[in-house]
Chain A
Amino acid sequence: DARVTQTPRHKVTEMGQEVTMRCQPILGHNTVFWYRQTMMQGLELLAYFRNRAPLDDSGMPKDRFSAEMPDATLATLKIQPSEPRDSAVYFCASGFWGINYGYTFGSGTRLTVV
């Protein structure tokens, strides 16, 4: 089965450090989402790309978060500097917009900032 691959699965880092999370979408999918999930806020949309172009990143704290899609096989989410409140599970999801097949989630990156 095709899958969305996220790395790393777990990350523990100290406050102030840079964190980079990676996502390999399913081959052929043209839309990639980044979500953050916490118990309090549920699934929050951080940013998304269509055909590698960023469409909306209004859900991200701009001063510390950045999302890029350097090529069709890689999406990245970077936090610099990280803060304890960034501790959450970060999910990437990909799909093919226009066909309405829904979106497939990766396994997520569990980030802990101490």
Chain B
Amino acid sequence: QKEVEQNSGPLSVPEGAIASLNCTYSDRVSQSFFWYRQYSGKSPELIMSIYSNGDKEDGRFTAQLNKASQYVSLLIRDSQPSDSATYLCAVDGSARQLTFGSGTQLTVLP
């Protein structure tokens, strides 16, 4: 079992729709969870971080964390073509290293 798993996609949504990205992790001691966005040929860019159970909203982005289920998700409301990218889930594990999932490629169709 991989330490951090994401639905591999690719995921396509129409412009204006909600995109839902999911991630599960295996290390129960994990405390910090991050979502990074990576455009093709670019480096990962931090877009959201979450540490407590529940929802955290930042503009069109909402991160959701459920530690009991070891699940973290990212919702993108009113999706725009500029949101088309690969989204990486990252987990700060028990050894305090940062482990990434394999990413979900999102395409927002105009």
Interface residue ranges, A against B (CB under 8 Å): 33, 35, 42-43, 45, 48, 50, 55-56, 91, 93, 97, 100-108
Interface of A is mostly: strand
Residues on the B chain within 8 Å of A48, using CB: 97-98
Inter-subunit contact B49/A100 (CB<8 Å): yes
Q: Within the assembled complex, what's the spacing in Å between the Cα atoms of A103 and B99? A: 12
Between B36, B88, B92, B98, the greatest number of chain A beta carbons within 10 A of the residue's beta carbon is seen for B98
Q: What total count of A-B pairs have CB within 8 Å?
A: 50
The residue on B at minimum CB distance from A106 is B43
Q: How far, in Å, is A107 (CB) from chain B's closest CB?
A: 5
Top 7 closest pairs, chain A to chain B, by CB: A105-B43, A43-B100, A102-B46, A42-B102, A102-B49, A100-B32, A105-B44
Q: Mark B92-108, 1 if CB is under 8 A from A, else 0.
A: 10011111111100000
Q: How far, in Å, is B106 (CB) from chain A's closest CB?
A: 16
Kindly identify which residue among B36, B96, B99 contacts A55, using a CB–CB cutoff of 8 Å.
Answer: B96
Inter-subunit contact B49/A108 (CB<8 Å): no
Residues on the A chain within 8 Å of B100, using CB: 35, 42-43, 45
Residues on the B chain within 8 Å of A106, using CB: 43
Q: Mark B67-110, 1 if CB is under 8 A from A, else 0.
A: 00000000000000000000010001001111111110000000
Inter-subunit contact A107/B97 (CB<8 Å): no
Residues on the B chain within 8 Å of A43, using CB: 44, 88, 100, 103
